[in-house]
């Protein structure tokens, strides 16, 4: 075919190029639609509701910033937010330490390494509701642990009706259910570290502990930032696990901020106020994330 004929018929080539350019967007489209329907649109609606008095049944009434003003005088909101922050301060380091420790063990040359990785990851595939019900079956008044205690002649323990033990049970269940997910992230981060660094440190006489603090941790800064950010956001959003495990009790001891927002919106039918609370929580999490990103310089080494 001559050059003139190719120049005269460029359409097939151009169509092929357009299809190749369009293909990536088609792959992303399903996730983009899901994100838009379940994240973007509800967020916009929530922002609109936050400036209205709305019970979900009657027409909305615009009230400006009254909902936000009410939040700042709502003692229970700030008490619940404080309990949530305390829960996050405990859970985030626990998940970080346990996930990193297990990841370090599972990147070593050990027998059945793949099996153990699967075992630790398995709980992340279970919904929080099922996790809560499972641990309720273990720690409940008629649960396995109390059954064992009674079998050996000991008194049963009110794990879910005592505030201290209820909080402890929630923390244990949360760490157990999310440990495997972050372990996988740490495994990926550890495998990305060149082995040459460790070999050089070994030749210089550095101990494994020193290599950990001077090689592993510094090179894991981007992974650490990701894990801490995700675990913190999850801790502030915690609700299904507590709802299934303790119902928020006893005496609201395990009622955290998302459950309080839910109760405000659906139990009290104050959807406008609940939407304003959600916006405030969103702003708090965003500020924390930005500060963490700035303080760690984006995870740069």
Domain positions in the chain are 77-299
For residue 53, what are the β-bridge partners?
A: 61
Q: Which helix (H) or strand (E) holds 61?
A: strand 61-62
Give the count of beta carbons closer than 10 Å to the beta carbon of residue 236.
Answer: 20
Give the count of beta carbons closer than 10 Å to the beta carbon of residue 83.
Answer: 18
Q: What is the rounded distance in angstroms from the CA atom of residue 177 to the CA atom of residue 133?
A: 12
Please determine, for residue 298, whether its predicted confidence score (pLDDT) is greater than 70: no
So what's the pLDDT on residue 11?
55
pTM of the model: 0.86
Q: Nearest Cα to 159, choosing from 140, 133, 180?
A: 140
Q: How many residues does the chain have?
A: 301
Q: What is the rounded distance in angstroms from the CA atom of residue 261 to the CA atom of residue 84?
A: 12
So what's the pLDDT on residue 301?
59
Asked if residue 47 lies in contact with residue 279, where contact means CB atoms within 8 angstroms, the answer is yes
Instruction: Check residue 40 and report its DSSP letter.
Output: I
Q: What is the rounded distance in angstroms from the CA atom of residue 99 to the CA atom of residue 104?
A: 9
So what's the pLDDT on residue 16?
66
What's the average model confidence in pLDDT over 278-295? 88
- Give the Cα-Cα-Cα angle 114, 115, 121 (nearest 5 degrees): 90
- Give the Cα-Cα-Cα angle 86, 92, 96 (nearest 5 degrees): 155
Q: For helices 271-295 and 41-49, give the axis angle rounded to 10 degrees.
A: 120
Of the listed ranges 35-39, 83-87, 294-298, the one predicted with least confidence: 294-298
Asked if residue 125 lies in contact with residue 212, where contact means CB atoms within 8 angstroms, the answer is no
Q: How confident is the model at residue 183 (pLDDT cuts 50, 70, 90)?
A: very high
Q: Nearest Cα to 184, choosing from 265, 274, 122?
A: 122
What's the average model confidence in pLDDT over 31-56? 91
| Residue 58, helix vs strand vs coil | coil
Q: Is the omega angle on the peptide bond into residue 79 within 30 degrees of 0, that is, cis?
A: no
Q: How confident is the model at residue 110 (pLDDT cuts 50, 70, 90)?
A: confident
Average pLDDT, the chain: 87
What is the fold of 77-299? Answer: MetI-like fold (1.10.3720)
Q: What is the rounded distance in angstroms from the CA atom of residue 19 to the CA atom of residue 299?
A: 37
Q: How confident is the model at residue 103 (pLDDT cuts 50, 70, 90)?
A: very high
pLDDT digits (tens, 9 = 90+) for 251-275: 889 999 999 999 999 989 999 999 9
So what's the pLDDT on residue 202?
85
Q: Nearest Cα to 68, choosing from 257, 289, 281?
A: 281
Q: What is the rounded distance in angstroms from the CA atom of residue 265 to the CA atom of residue 276?
A: 10
pLDDT digits (tens, 9 = 90+) for 114-169: 888 889 999 999 999 999 999 999 888 778 888 888 888 888 888 888 899 999 99
Q: Nearest Cα to 274, choosing from 79, 82, 84, 74?
A: 74
Q: What is the rounded distance in angstroms from the CA atom of residue 210 to the CA atom of residue 212?
A: 5
For residue 61, what are the β-bridge partners?
A: 53
Q: Nearest Cα to 277, choosing from 249, 236, 246?
A: 236
pLDDT digits (tens, 9 = 90+) for 2-26: 555 545 555 565 666 666 677 778 8
pLDDT digits (tens, 9 = 90+) for 54-97: 988 888 999 999 999 999 999 999 999 999 999 999 999 999 99
């Amino acid at each position: 075919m001559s050059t003139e004929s190719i120049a005269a018929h460029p359409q097939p080539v151009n169509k092929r190029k357009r299809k190749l350019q369009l293909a990536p967007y088609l792959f992303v489209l399903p996730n983009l639609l899901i994100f838009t329907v379940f994240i973007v649109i509800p967020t916009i609606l929530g922002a609109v509701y936050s400036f209205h008095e709305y019970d979900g049944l009657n027409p909305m009434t615009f009230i400006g910033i009254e909902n936000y003003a009410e939040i700042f005088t709502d003692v229970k909101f700030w008490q619940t937010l404080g309990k949530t922050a305390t829960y996050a301060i405990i859970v985030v380091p626990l998940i970080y330490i346990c996930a990193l420790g297990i990841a370090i063990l599972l990147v070593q040359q050990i027998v059945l390494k793949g099996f153990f990785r699967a075992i630790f990851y398995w709980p992340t595939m279970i919904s929080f509701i099922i996790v809560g019900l499972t641990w309720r079956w273990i720690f409940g008044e008629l649960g396995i642990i109390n059954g064992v205690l009674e079998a050996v002649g000991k008194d049963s323990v009110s794990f879910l009706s005592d505030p201290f033990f209820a909080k402890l049970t929630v923390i244990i269940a949360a760490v157990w259910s999310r440990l495997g997910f972050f372990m996988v992230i740490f495994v990926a981060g550890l495998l990305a570290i060149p082995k040459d660094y460790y070999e050089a440190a070994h030749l210089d006489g550095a101990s494994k502990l020193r290599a950990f603090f001077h090689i592993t941790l510094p090179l894991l800064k981007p992974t650490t930032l990701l894990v801490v950010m995700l675990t913190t956001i999850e801790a502030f959003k915690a609700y299904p696990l507590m709802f299934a495990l303790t119902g928020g009790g006893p005496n609201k001891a395990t009622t955290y901020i998302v459950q309080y927002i839910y109760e405000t919106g659906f139990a009290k039918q104050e959807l406008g106020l609940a939407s304003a609370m959600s916006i405030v929580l969103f702003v708090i999490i965003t500020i924390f994330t930005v500060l963490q990103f700035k303080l760690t310089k984006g995870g740069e080494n």
